[in-house]
C-alpha cells in the first residue's frame, strides 16, 4: 500500500512538473515582450535612439496596481513608446497603465498581431495596436478594430488632421473611422548639398529640382553624377529607394473593391527604371535597410535618398555620422520635391474589438493625435511632422522649421504643400505582401535573368498563389 501511495505521489509530481514546464514556457512567451516595456519615468529623452531594452524595474509597481487595468499597446519599434511618454507625461495615471510591447520586427508584426487577435481571453491581448500604411486596411476593414466614435472621439477632434490620414483608416464597409495617426508623411528628395555643388554645380533646392523634375531628367542627372565623380558617387543607394515614389503614383490600387488584381502601368515603369539603374550601374546596389545601406548617409558614395518626414530624422540624420554641424554629413543636406509628389508610411493607432477600457484607449489616442497644443509641443521637441495643420502652421510662423541638419532649410515649408497633396487612393489591404512578391520579380528582371513579360507573368502567378480568392487580370 505504501508503495502504491509513493508511486502515485511520484508520478503525480512528475506530471505536475511537466505541466508546470509547459505553463512556464507559456508564461515566458507572454512576459518576454514585457521586458521591452516601460512605465519608466516620463522624462526620458525623446531624441532618437532611446534605449531599446529599457528597465524591467518598472514591472514591480505595475504588478501592485490591479493587473487587469493594464493597457497593452503593440508596436514594432520604440518610436511610439517615446511619443507616448512625451505626450502623457502630465497624465501619469494613463502612462502607468500602458504595457508597451515592442514586437521588434516589422516583418513579423502582422503574424504576431493576427495570432493575438484570435485569442481575446489571453492576458496579453492587445488593447491598442499600431498599424503601418502597408496593411492598416486589413484591420480597419474588419470587426477587429473599434470605430473611434466608440472611444469618445468626436468629429471636432479630427478637424486639424490631414484628410488622407482619415481616408486611410476609414472602414470601407460603413465609413466609420477606425484609426488615428499623429504624423503626416509626405515625401521629398533629400540630397547632399556639397556633392551637388561639386558635381553638378547646383547651389539651391530650386536648381536641384530643375535637374530632377522628370524621370528622364533624373536618369540624366544620375549619369552625370556617376561620370563627374568617376563612379565614386551614385545618385541612390539601393534600387528599391524609388519604390515608394512610384507606388504612391499608381493609377489604381493593386486590388480593387471587387477583388480584382491588376498590374499597374506605373509599376511597369518602375521595373524599367530599376533595370536602367542596375544595368547602367547608377546606384550602389545595396538593399534597403541593410547595414551597408544605413552606412550611406555618412559617406560620399550616395548622393541622395527619397524619404519622407520620419525618414529625415530616423534614417538620414541618425546615420549621418554626426550630431551637430561639422560632424559627419550633418548640415550638408537639402530637400526638394523630386520627379513626383509621393507619400510614405506613417503609423496609425487603433483600439481592438476586445479593448478592456475603450475610454482610456480613446484618451490616449486623443492626446497623441488630436490635441493641438500637445502636438505643437511634440513637433517642436522631436521635429516630427505632426498630423495637425494648426500646429504645423504655428511652428512655421515661428520659424521653428529652420533645421540645422538641413543647413538651415525650413523643412516645414518643404513638406507643408506636399502634405496637402497626398492622395492615398493607391492603397489596399494587400500592399505589403504584393509589394514583396513584385520585388522578387523586379530583381530578376533588373539583373537580366528574365524578360519583362515573364517577370510580370511570374509576379501574377505568385499573387494568385498567395491570394487564391483574387481575380487576376
Partner 1 sequence: MAKSNTTKHKTVEYGRYGYYFIAPFFIIFAIFQLWPLIYTIGLAFCENYYDTMWNTEIGPTFNGVANFATIFKSAEGTYFDTYTFRALGNTLIMWFLNFAPQILLALLLAVWFTDTRVKIKAQGAYKVLVFMPNIITAATISVLFYKLFDYPNGPINQLFVNSGIWAQPYQFLATKWATRGIISFINFWMWYGNTMIVLTAGVLGISPSLFEAARVDGATSWEIFKSVTLPLLRPILLFTLVNSAIGGLQMYDIPKLLTTSGYGDPDYTTRTITMYIRELAFTGSRQMGKASAASLVLFVVTLFFSLVLFYIMRDKDAIKEKKAIKAAQKARKGAN
Q: What are phi and psi of 107, to 5 degrees?
A: -70, -35
Question: What sections of 338-385 are H helices per DSSP?
Answer: 358-369, 372-382
Q: Which of 173, 203, 324, 452 binds partner 1 (CB under 8 A)?
A: 173
**Interface characters, 127-156, with partner 1 (x: CB under 8 A):** ----------xxx-xxxx------------
Q: Is 415 in contact with 186 (CB distance < 8 Å)?
A: yes
Q: CA-to-CA distance for 337 and 421, rounded, in angstroms?
A: 12
Range in contact with partner 1 (rule: CB under 8 A) among 254-262, 313-321, 345-353, 384-392: 254-262
Range in contact with partner 1 (rule: CB under 8 A) among 39-47, 81-89, 368-376, 422-430: 422-430
Range in contact with partner 1 (rule: CB under 8 A) among 49-57, 59-67, 287-295, 399-407: 287-295
Burial class of residue 30 in the structure, from the number of CB atoms within 10 Å of its CB (0-12 exposed, 13-18 middle, 19+ buried)? middle
In the complex with partner 1, the residue whose CB is nearer, 64 or 174, is 174
Range in contact with partner 1 (rule: CB under 8 A) among 5-13, 197-205, 223-231, 371-379: 5-13
Q: How many helices (H) and strands (E) does the chain have?
A: 20, 12
Q: Does 471 bind partner 1 (CB under 8 A)?
A: no
Rounded alpha-carbon distances, angstroms, from residue 262 to 174, 292, 407, 451, 458: 25, 34, 43, 19, 14
Q: CA-to-CA distance for 451 and 146, rounded, in angstroms?
A: 46
Q: Which of 23, 24, 29, 259 binds partner 1 (CB under 8 A)?
A: 259
Q: Does 292 bind partner 1 (CB under 8 A)?
A: yes
Q: Does 11 bind partner 1 (CB under 8 A)?
A: yes
Tell me the angle at which helices 431-446 and 265-279 cross, rounded to the nearest 10 degrees. 40
In the complex with partner 1, the residue whose CB is nearer, 15 or 220, is 15
Strand locations in 326-373, DSSP E? 333-336, 347-351
Q: CA-to-CA distance for 191 and 188, rounded, in angstroms?
A: 10
Q: CA-to-CA distance for 340 and 249, rounded, in angstroms?
A: 8
Range in contact with partner 1 (rule: CB under 8 A) among 51-59, 223-231, 279-287, 377-385: 279-287
Q: Does 5 bind partner 1 (CB under 8 A)?
A: no
What minimum distance in Å lies between the beta carbon of 11 and partner 1?
4
Q: Does 3 bind partner 1 (CB under 8 A)?
A: yes
Specify the 3-state DSSP secondary structure of 227.
Answer: helix
Q: Does 287 bind partner 1 (CB under 8 A)?
A: yes
Range in contact with partner 1 (rule: CB under 8 A) among 213-221, 225-233, 286-294, 414-422: 286-294
What minimum distance in Å lies between the beta carbon of 216 and partner 1?
27
What minimum distance in Å lies between the beta carbon of 443 and partner 1?
6
In the complex with partner 1, the residue whose CB is nearer, 67 or 471, is 471
Q: Does 230 bind partner 1 (CB under 8 A)?
A: no
Q: Which of 45, 290, 421, 425 binds partner 1 (CB under 8 A)?
A: 290
What minimum distance in Å lies between the beta carbon of 19 and partner 1?
8
Range in contact with partner 1 (rule: CB under 8 A) among 120-128, 318-326, 340-348, 459-467: 459-467
Q: Does 32 bind partner 1 (CB under 8 A)?
A: no
Q: What are phi and psi of 422, to 5 degrees?
A: -60, 130
Q: Does 449 bind partner 1 (CB under 8 A)?
A: yes
Q: What are phi and psi of 426, to 5 degrees?
A: -80, -5
Range in contact with partner 1 (rule: CB under 8 A) among 32-40, 55-63, 187-195, 454-462: 454-462
Q: CA-to-CA distance for 216 and 243, rounded, in angstroms?
A: 17
Q: Does 221 bind partner 1 (CB under 8 A)?
A: no
Q: Does 469 bind partner 1 (CB under 8 A)?
A: yes
Q: Does 348 bind partner 1 (CB under 8 A)?
A: no
Among 4, 3, 29, 9, residue whose Cα is nearest residue 17: 9
Among 331, 304, 274, 316, residue whose Cα is nearest residue 199: 304
**Lookup result for grid cell 483608416:** 169
Specify the 3-state DSSP secondary structure of 307.
Answer: strand
Q: Does 447 bind partner 1 (CB under 8 A)?
A: yes
Among 202, 234, 226, residue whose Cα is nearest residue 302: 234
Among 300, 336, 329, residue whose Cα is nearest residue 315: 329
Rounded alpha-carbon distances, angstroms, from residue 333 to 54, 217, 232: 32, 21, 18
Beta carbons within 8 Å of 131's beta carbon, 6+ residues apart? 139, 140, 169, 179, 347, 348, 349, 350
Q: Does 2 bind partner 1 (CB under 8 A)?
A: no
Q: Say how many residues touch partner 1, by CB under 8 A.
A: 52
What minimum distance in Å lies between the beta carbon of 5 and partner 1?
11
Beta carbons within 8 Å of 44's beta carbon, 6+ residues apart? 38, 50, 54, 82, 85
Q: Does 87 bind partner 1 (CB under 8 A)?
A: no
Residues that bind partner 1 (CB under 8 A): 3-4, 7-8, 10-11, 14-15, 18, 22, 107, 111, 114, 137-139, 141-144, 173, 255, 257, 259, 284-287, 290, 292, 428-430, 433, 436, 439-441, 443-444, 447, 449-450, 458, 461-462, 464-469
Amino acid at each position: 500500500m505504501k508503495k502504491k501511495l509513493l508511486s502515485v505521489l511520484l508520478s503525480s509530481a512528475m506530471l505536475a512538473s511537466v505541466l508546470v514546464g509547459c505553463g512556464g514556457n507559456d508564461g515566458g512567451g507572454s512576459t518576454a515582450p514585457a521586458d521591452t516595456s516601460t512605465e519608466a519615468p516620463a522624462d526620458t529623452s525623446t531624441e532618437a535612439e532611446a534605449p531599446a531594452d529599457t528597465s524591467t524595474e518598472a514591472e514591480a509597481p505595475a504588478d501592485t496596481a490591479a493587473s487587469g487595468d493594464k493597457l497593452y499597446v503593440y508596436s514594432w519599434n520604440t518610436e511610439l513608446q517615446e511619443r507616448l511618454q512625451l505626450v502623457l507625461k502630465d497624465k501619469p495615471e494613463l502612462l502607468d497603465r500602458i504595457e508597451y510591447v515592442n514586437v521588434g520586427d516589422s516583418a513579423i508584426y502582422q503574424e504576431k498581431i493576427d495570432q493575438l487577435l484570435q485569442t481575446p481571453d489571453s492576458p496579453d491581448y492587445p488593447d491598442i495596436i499600431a498599424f503601418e500604411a502597408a496593411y492598416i486596411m486589413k484591420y480597419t476593414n474588419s470587426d477587429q478594430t473599434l470605430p473611434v466614435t466608440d472611444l469618445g472621439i468626436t468629429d471636432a477632434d479630427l478637424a486639424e488632421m490631414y484628410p488622407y490620414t482619415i481616408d486611410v483608416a476609414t472602414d470601407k464597409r460603413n465609413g466609420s473611422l477606425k484609426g488615428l495617426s499623429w504624423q503626416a508623411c509626405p515625401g521629398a528628395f533629400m540630397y547632399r548639398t556639397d556633392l551637388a555643388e561639386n558635381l553638378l554645380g547646383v547651389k539651391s533646392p530650386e536648381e536641384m529640382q530643375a535637374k530632377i523634375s522628370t524621370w528622364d531628367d533624373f536618369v540624366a542627372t544620375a549619369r552625370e553624377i556617376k561620370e563627374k565623380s568617376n563612379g565614386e558617387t551614385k545618385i541612390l543607394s539601393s534600387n528599391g529607394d524609388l519604390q515608394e515614389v512610384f507606388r504612391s503614383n499608381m493609377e489604381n490600387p493593386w486590388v480593387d473593391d471587387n477583388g480584382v488584381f491588376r498590374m499597374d502601368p506605373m509599376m511597369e515603369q518602375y521595373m524599367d527604371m530599376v533595370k536602367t539603374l542596375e544595368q547602367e550601374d547608377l546606384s550602389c546596389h545595396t538593399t534597403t535597410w541593410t547595414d551597408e545601406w544605413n552606412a550611406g548617409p555618412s559617406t560620399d558614395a550616395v548622393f541622395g535618398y527619397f524619404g519622407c518626414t520620419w525618414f529625415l530624422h530616423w534614417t538620414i540624420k541618425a546615420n549621418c555620422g554626426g550630431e551637430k554641424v561639422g560632424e559627419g554629413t550633418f548640415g550638408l543636406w537639402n530637400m526638394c520635391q523630386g520627379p513626383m509628389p509621393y507619400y510614405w508610411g506613417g503609423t496609425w493607432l487603433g483600439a481592438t474589438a476586445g479593448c478592456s477600457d475603450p475610454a482610456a484607449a480613446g484618451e490616449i489616442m486623443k492626446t497623441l493625435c488630436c490635441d493641438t497644443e500637445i502636438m505643437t509641443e511634440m513637433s517642436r521637441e522631436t521635429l516630427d511632422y505632426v498630423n495637425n495643420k494648426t500646429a504645423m502652421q504655428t511652428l512655421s510662423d515661428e520659424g521653428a522649421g529652420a533645421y540645422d541638419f538641413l543647413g538651415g532649410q525650413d523643412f516645414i515649408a518643404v513638406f507643408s504643400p506636399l502634405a496637402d497633396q497626398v492622395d492615398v487612393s493607391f492603397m489596399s489591404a494587400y500592399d505589403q505582401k504584393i509589394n514583396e512578391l513584385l520585388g522578387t520579380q523586379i530583381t530578376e528582371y533588373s539583373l537580366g535573368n528574365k524578360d519583362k513579360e515573364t517577370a510580370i507573368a511570374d509576379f501574377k502567378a505568385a499573387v494568385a498563389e498567395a491570394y487564391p480568392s483574387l481575380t487576376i487580370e
